[in-house]
Structure 1
Amino acid sequence: MRLRHLTIAAALLATLCIPAHAEAARDISRDILPADDGWAAYGSGTTGGSAADDAHVFTVTDRAGLARALDGGSDTPKIIKIAGTIDADTDDDGHHLDCDDYATDGYGLKKYLAAYDPRTWGSARPSGPQEEARQASAAKQAERVTLPVGSNTTIVGLGDSAVLKGANLQVKNAGNVIIRNLDLRDAYDCFPVWQPNTGGLGDWKTSYDNIWLTGATHVWIDHVTASDKGHPDAKEPAYFARNYLRHDGLLDITGASDLVTVSWSRFADHDKAMLIGNSDSATEDRGKLRVTLHHNQFESVVQRAPRVRFGQVHVYDNRYVVPEGSEYRYSLGVSTESGIYAENNAFHTPSHVEVADLVKSWNGTALHQTGTLFNGYPVDLLAVYNAYNSGSERDLTADVGWTPTLHTKIDSAETADREVARGAGAGRIR
């Protein structure tokens, strides 16, 4: 009889597709940032929407539901759980919108290219009917894809397959925000603008980051995956001899944002991954832009992992992977008045990438680094960089003017390399 009961129980479990050893997924929606876990733990810490009452706990499955839950970026404590895949490029009825649906006032890419061809237009900024039509079209897209995140908010993905695609999450002049366990894909700009004089040759400028922090404080971003999945810029055409970029950053932290921790996340398949401080002239950023990056993976990222101006940025226990054949410029960007304190990071690169390529400086003066692994071997990243640039004005000192005190246990680069490879990104919270 006992055997018969066990057989019936097993059959029922198989019918329900539930393994006998299955455990309920841990509810992470009211988690707060642990003490000392990076700069976002400073002072009052980061608690997100953990204090939300039951009326402000939402499970959303589409753009309309997400927009309602965000409540225009209100400061009311709220928890938003994302289930399944949400496409930001949809109308209020859930129908997908493409670039043609946003185009208005006679905008057309062929007409835009003809109007502002440098051979005939010259080096002036675009103006006139086609640029006005581009701006109007861009505004229509922004109404759908830009989603404001207010203070005292937690956004979490449910399970291991929560996806938000096409969206530009903006934490603007807000604080105490948590974003976790979410796959953020393809913040795709339908209407890039031509900037004739950028970089000397001109360039295409796009509008959307997957996550943009500006004037934000006390933000914890954990176990997210951010990428261009769906529309990689590498497959876009070139116009005016410049790649027609459709994406800006994966995560940009600007506008005197402060006290941010980014942990156990994966940034992949992108050009300019993470900008901390957007302008050499933004002196209001002094004393701000304090950011901790730990246990993240930067994979097939061309540059800005991160690039830093002004901020005190602790970069430890991260994993960098440059696949064979992929484009690569640098990882750590040392810019004006920046203070990057890098510890125990591991780099995996193909043969054409050398140690000195990992760092690039624009007006930067200092970089602290210890415990760097390069293709499995310990290297003194600063010494190699300075030897490569010997006698130039780009030599860096090791004194960045501060020492991190807010951090979790700092693992060796070897240990972090293994742990990050299997634990970083959405769907991997244990």
Structure 2
Amino acid sequence: MPARMRHVRALAVATGCASLALAVSLPAQAAPRPDRGTERAVLPQGDGWAAAEGSTTGGSRATADHVYTVSNRAELIAAFRDAGDAPKIVRIAGTVHGNSDAAGTPIGCEAYQQNGYTLDKYLAAYDPAVWGTGEVPSGPLEDARVASAKQQAAAVNVNVPSNTTIIGVGKDATIVGASLQVKNVSNVIVRNLTFEDTYDCFPQWDPTDGDKGAWNSEYDNLVVYGSSHVWVDHNTFSDGDRPDADQPSYFGQIFQQHDGLFDIVRGADLVTVSWNILKDHDKTMLIGNSDGAGASDRGKLRVTLHHNLFKDVKERAPRVRFGQVDSYNNHFVATEGAAYGYTYGIGAESRLVAEHNAFTLPAGLDKATILKKWSESSLTAGDNYVNGRKTDLIAVHNAGVPAEHLTEGAGWTPVLRPRTDSPRAVPALVDRQAGAGRMPGC
């Protein structure tokens, strides 16, 4: 492990938020005292589900030799490997590229191509006029796509160990094209980072997906999978400079290179998501990823979402299965002309409480579509405001979409709320304070 990753000093260029604009090598005895107000912050008592059944402290107890500053993918992985499950603080300085070589230089999709794969060859082989529409692709070009995708996955997916705080340095720390995998671990804090454009170079064409077929991709910016006690706070998630709307269409469908922004799945539990921005995306957030996962998900997927800004996201904000989810004091914004399907997806055995939220929508958007029923489940949805007016979301939905009648009453009452703001105040409050670079002390 290079000494400069462990022993660094802040130059007087930035303040707060793990204030390290540049890092220089120093002897071990000169290592700085971490800022206990930011780097070593723990989830406040009673702040959502991640505060239940114990606490979420991340790497707050890290010793000096387990505090790292990293600026590329290789250093990030090395820091995780060096510390293992010991408490650790990993500072992200500058921009870390997931699709990069050993030196951290960004690379393109062609670097991963295997066995003669090219997109042009793939399109020619599986054009519906040639392949048909009755079965998914198979054969040499599909095998080549799978092999190429495996190469990219090894670069894009970065596994986060237990007892970790990952925090951005200053106001512009960014992770581009990498997927942080909080998988089968516990006690993780992720703060003050901008996540952008975790894209799949090798989406699969599936002509049997829906009436017209679809391109299906992998990778989310952040995944909480089978993990517990996770706090995700003051981050910004988007597709960056590669929005889906700007992608080409093949076989009549958008060449979809993004999956979700941030998913919580596979028995994950006790998660608090606070003061984040999720914007400019299609399939935004799943809480529970399969109707068939009841054996692993029942009694889990307890998630709190509060004071987040969801802006111009088409759907899944979130879509919930099985989870006991508390969503309050969030601001949902759809601007004129942006694609919009629904906000809350009510899925299998979900128990969603959606209260004290604010919606800012174009005048012509049908408020009945804010809720979308996927399965027979109940929810609580009180004291929500749409364009400044108190609105009964369930009543509006049932009147506008009577074939998808929703039943009121989630069957539980949230208590882990350190503060509840008036939904009238939420737009100004959340828009001003949510997202990376706006964390207190930043």
TM, length-normalised to structure 1:
0.92
CA distance in 2, matches of 1:331, 1:73: 39
Is the Cα–Cα contact under 8 Å of residues 73 and 149 in structure 1 kept in the other structure? no
Give runs of aligned pairs for residues 386-397 of structure 1, distance below 5 A.
386-390=398-402, 392=403, 394-397=404-407
Letter in 2 for 1:165: V
State percent identity of aligned pairs: 50
2:188 equivalent in structure 1:
177
- Name the SS of the counterpart of 2:381 in structure 1: strand
- The Cα of 1:76 is off from its aligned counterpart by 2.3
Q: Look at both structures and tell me which one has the larger radius of gyration over its CA atoms.
A: 1
1:321 partnered with 2:333: yes
1:9 equivalent in structure 2:
none
Counterpart pick for 1:168 among 173, 176, 179: 179
CA distance in 2, matches of 1:146, 1:72: 18
Cα gap change, 1:193/1:419 in structure 2, threshold over 3 Å: closer, same or farther? same
Give runs of aligned pairs for residues 64-83 of structure 1, distance below 5 A.
64-71=74-81, 74-83=84-93
Is the Cα–Cα contact under 8 Å of residues 323 and 350 in structure 1 kept in the other structure? yes
Letter in 1 for 2:301: L
Question: Any idea what the Cα deviations from partners look like across 1:199-225, whole Å, max 9, x if unmatched?
Answer: 232211111100011111110000000
CA distance in 2, matches of 1:360, 1:345: 17
Give runs of aligned pairs for residues 129-144 of structure 1, distance below 5 A.
129-144=140-155
1:202 partnered with 2:213: yes
CA distance in 2, matches of 1:45, 1:407: 15
CA distance in 1, matches of 2:59, 2:364: 46
TM, length-normalised to structure 2:
0.90
Counterpart pick for 2:434 among 401, 424, 430: 424
Is the Cα–Cα contact under 8 Å of residues 40 and 46 in structure 1 kept in the other structure? yes
- Name the SS of the counterpart of 1:179 in structure 2: strand
1:331 equivalent in structure 2:
343
1:211 partnered with 2:222: yes
- Name the SS of the counterpart of 1:370 in structure 2: coil
2:109 equivalent in structure 1:
99
CA distance in 2, matches of 1:230, 1:23: 28
- Name the SS of the counterpart of 2:121 in structure 1: helix
CA distance in 1, matches of 2:186, 2:259: 23
- Name the SS of the counterpart of 2:408 in structure 1: coil
CA distance in 2, matches of 1:133, 1:203: 19
2:257 equivalent in structure 1:
246
- The Cα of 1:415 is off from its aligned counterpart by 1.6
- Name the SS of the counterpart of 2:149 in structure 1: helix
CA distance in 1, matches of 2:61, 2:170: 22
Letter in 1 for 2:96: I
Cα gap change, 1:99/1:281 in structure 2, threshold over 3 Å: closer, same or farther? same
Aligned length: 411
Question: Any idea what the Cα deviations from partners look like across 1:69-126, whole Å, max 9, x if unmatched?
Answer: 1218932221100111111111112222101111121001111111112232122121
CA distance in 2, matches of 1:351, 1:227: 25
Structure 2 unmatched runs, 5+? 1-10, 20-34
1:340 equivalent in structure 2:
352
Is the Cα–Cα contact under 8 Å of residues 96 and 104 in structure 2 kept in the other structure? no
1:368 partnered with 2:380: yes
Counterpart pick for 1:224 among 232, 235, 254: 235
1:10 equivalent in structure 2:
none
1:110 equivalent in structure 2:
120
Question: Any idea what the Cα deviations from partners look like across 1:333-358, whole Å, max 9, x if unmatched?
Answer: 00111111011111111122121111
Q: CA RMSD in A?
A: 1.7
- The Cα of 1:290 is off from its aligned counterpart by 0.5
Is the Cα–Cα contact under 8 Å of residues 324 and 352 in structure 2 kept in the other structure? yes
- Name the SS of the counterpart of 2:116 in structure 1: coil
Is the Cα–Cα contact under 8 Å of residues 278 and 309 in structure 1 kept in the other structure? yes
1:379 equivalent in structure 2:
391
Q: Which moved more, 1:360-369 or 1:254-263?
A: 360-369
